[in-house]
């Protein structure tokens, strides 16, 4: 059961704060392992949580979709899902994605064959089957349904409304990549825009520092120096990393998808504050060491391998360095490196031809950048590298898109101190909540 819950209004606007204790009750839903083979009766159990503190008879079912991580019910503490539930007397359910967290079909995954049932298609069927059965079990047969998701889960939310409009009445998609690509060169272009919008000197500092790092890593002596500089950073054991892995980690820190609204200004102030005896690499390294703790964190290995399988089998999304509009211009092939990882981890059949064929199919089946869907609220932060792959244009009044300058990845899914710095985010969230209310009444 859920323990103490507190919700309040701030200055007449939609404000919400929820204090969640640790006393959540895990619940389990028996799910088919393979939805596409009616002769296969194997099942496994998916974990879910309920929050019914707002629920009133006739209220909607608000389903928060779990993505490529273990679900944590405390993540709902500041979610707009709560505001929608309070407005409409809704029942909130958080559903974990198959193969992540405790929703594993197999106790121990020993080979690639065990991942056979991990796909976006199976996940969509999981959600549809859950909605269908849960509504009857919970006495919600006449209730409307809305799905919510961030990042990959936001993609699933959009696709649920597209594929199952008879089950899903509305969707809230935050930072959702809709167009699937192998060569995701736009990812680093967003970083370039953040820094170059502050000053040409700032972006030049990053370019030169990165070039110096790359040149140093080309020699044993230089590589030793760089590993000494980055020893102890929060991004893993640098002594065990190859040169390309170190450069990729540097790029990841510099392209933080969860950057704060003032990230560009504050970062450039640091990067341009070097003295005459400091090289661009030394200044860049100092900045990366300062930022690493905000970007790098320990990931659950099982979750990481599951998502790796999904990218190797369906999504691609290689962060390439070939674009001239980003600070890491390089002929190094990220795609080649990623495909090598896929082959080493899952087998030689995970090659370029198979992955591109799968990506083409995903865009064909789910619409890609030409997706036509209604009653989906889409949010993107302009500081989010994933925004380039999202739904960025309103097709009609039933597909509102909010592009928020200064906001980062999934910023709309949690009320935070960024709201004070980004009034447009706060106002856009209020509008979106009102739109969802209209669709679900």
Residue pair 369/178 in contact by the 8 Å Cβ criterion: yes
What is the distance between the alpha carbons of residues 281 and 275, in angstroms, rounded to a whole number?
Answer: 13
pLDDT at res. 3: 33
Q: CA-CA distances (angstroms) from residue 226 to 47, 218, 223, 334, 419?
A: 44, 11, 5, 21, 38
Query: What is the per-residue pLDDT for 436?
Result: 97
CA 218 to chain centre: 34
Within 197-279, where are the H helices? 200-216, 220-229, 243-254, 263-271
Q: At 269, is the secondary structure helix, strand, or coil?
A: helix
Q: Cα(45)–Cα(27) distance, rounded to whole angstroms?
A: 9
3-state secondary structure of 10: strand
Q: In this structure, which topology does domain 27-178+367-440 adopt according to CATH? A: Rossmann fold (3.40.50)
Q: What is the largest CA-CA distance in the chain?
A: 72
**Which pLDDT score is estimated for 38?**
96
The pLDDT value given to residue 417: 54
Q: Following DSSP, what letter does each residue of 130-197 receive, concatenated? A: HHHHHHHHTT-TT--EEEEEETHHHHHHHHHHHH-TTT-SEEEEES---S--SB-THHHHHHHHHHHT
DSSP result, 368-391: GGG---SSEEEEEETT-GGGGGS-
User: pLDDT 10s per residue in the chain (441 long)?
Assistant: 233 333 333 323 344 445 444 567 899 999 999 999 999 999 999 999 999 989 999 999 999 999 999 999 888 877 899 999 999 999 999 999 999 999 999 988 888 999 999 999 999 999 999 999 999 999 999 999 999 999 999 999 999 999 999 999 999 999 999 999 999 999 999 889 999 999 999 999 999 999 999 999 999 999 999 999 999 999 999 999 999 999 999 999 999 999 888 899 999 999 998 666 789 999 999 999 999 988 998 788 999 999 999 999 999 999 999 899 999 988 788 999 999 999 999 999 999 999 999 999 999 999 998 999 999 999 999 999 999 999 988 878 899 999 999 999 999 987 665 556 788 999 999 999 999 999 999
How many degrees, rounded to 5, is the angle at CA 271 between CA 268 and CA 277?
Answer: 155
d(CA 170, CA 163) in angstroms, rounded, equals: 12
Angle at the Cα of 314 (from 312 to 318), degrees rounded to 5? 55
Rounded CA-CA distance 193/189 in Å is 6
Q: Compute the C-alpha angle 414/420/425, nearest 5°.
A: 55
Q: For the chain, what is the radius of gyration of the CA atoms?
A: 23
Sheet bearing 401-404, strands edge to edge: 27-32, 43-51, 91-95, 61-65, 145-150, 170-174, 376-381, 401-404
Please say whether the beta carbons of 219 and 212 come within 8 A. Answer: no
Contact 253, 291 (CB under 8 A): yes
CA 192 to chain centre: 20
- Decide: 37 and 116 in contact? Cβ < 8 Å: no
Could you give the CA distance from residue 430 to residue 21 in angstroms, rounded to a whole number? 27
Residues 104, 121 contacting (CB under 8 angstroms)? no
The pLDDT, as a whole number, for residue 294 is: 87
């Amino acid at each position: 059961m859920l323990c103490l819950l507190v919700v309040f209004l701030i200055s007449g606007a939609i404000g919400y704060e929820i204090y969640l204790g640790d006393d959540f009750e895990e619940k389990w839903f028996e799910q088919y392992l393979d939805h596409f083979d009616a002769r296969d009766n194997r099942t496994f159990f998916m974990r879910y949580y309920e929050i019914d503190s707002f629920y009133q008879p006739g209220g909607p079912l608000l389903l928060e979709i779990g993505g490529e991580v273990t679900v944590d019910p405390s993540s709902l503490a500041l979610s707009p899902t709560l505001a929608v539930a309070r407005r409409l007397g809704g029942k909130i359910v958080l559903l974990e994605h198959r193969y992540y967290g405790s929703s594993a079909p197999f106790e121990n995954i020993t080979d690639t064959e065990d991942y056979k049932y991990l796909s976006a298609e199976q996940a969509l069927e999981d959600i549809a089957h859950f909605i269908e059965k849960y509504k009857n079990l919970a006495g919600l047969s006449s209730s409307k349904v809305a799905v919510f998701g961030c990042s990959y889960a936001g993609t699933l939310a959009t696709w649920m409304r597209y594929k199952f409009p008879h089950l899903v009445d509305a969707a809230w998609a935050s930072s959702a990549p809709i167009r699937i690509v192998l060569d995701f060169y736009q990812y680093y272009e967003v970083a370039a825009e953040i820094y170059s919008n502050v000053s040409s000197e700032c972006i030049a500092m990053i370019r030169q520092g990165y070039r110096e790092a790359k040149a140093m890593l080309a020699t044993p002596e230089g590589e030793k120096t760089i590993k000494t500089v980055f020893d102890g950073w929060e991004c893993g054991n640098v002594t065990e990393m190859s040169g390309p892995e170190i450069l990729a980690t540097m790029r990841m820190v510099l392209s933080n998808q969860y950057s704060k609204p003032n990230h560009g200004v504050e970062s450039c102030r640091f990067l341009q504050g070097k003295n005459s005896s400091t090289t661009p690499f030394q200044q860049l390294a100092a900045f990366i060491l300062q930022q690493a703790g905000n970007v790098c964190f320990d990931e659950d290995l099982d979750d990481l391998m599951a998502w790796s399988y999904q990218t190797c089998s369906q999504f691609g999304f290689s962060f390439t360095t070939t674009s001239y509009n980003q600070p890491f211009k390089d002929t190094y092939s990220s795609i080649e490196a990623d495909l090598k990882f896929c082959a080493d981890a899952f087998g030689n059949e995970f090659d370029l031809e198979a992955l591109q064929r799968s990506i083409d199919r995903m865009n064909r089946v789910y619409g890609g950048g030409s997706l036509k869907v209604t009653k989906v609220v889409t949010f993107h932060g302009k500081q989010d590298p994933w925004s380039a792959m999202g739904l960025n244009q309103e097709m009609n009044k039933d597909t509102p898109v909010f592009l928020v300058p200064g906001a980062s990845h999934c910023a709309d899914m949690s009320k935070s101190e960024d709201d004070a710095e980004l009034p447009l985010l706060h106002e856009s969230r209020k509008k979106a909540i009102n739109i969802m209310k209209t669709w679900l009444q």
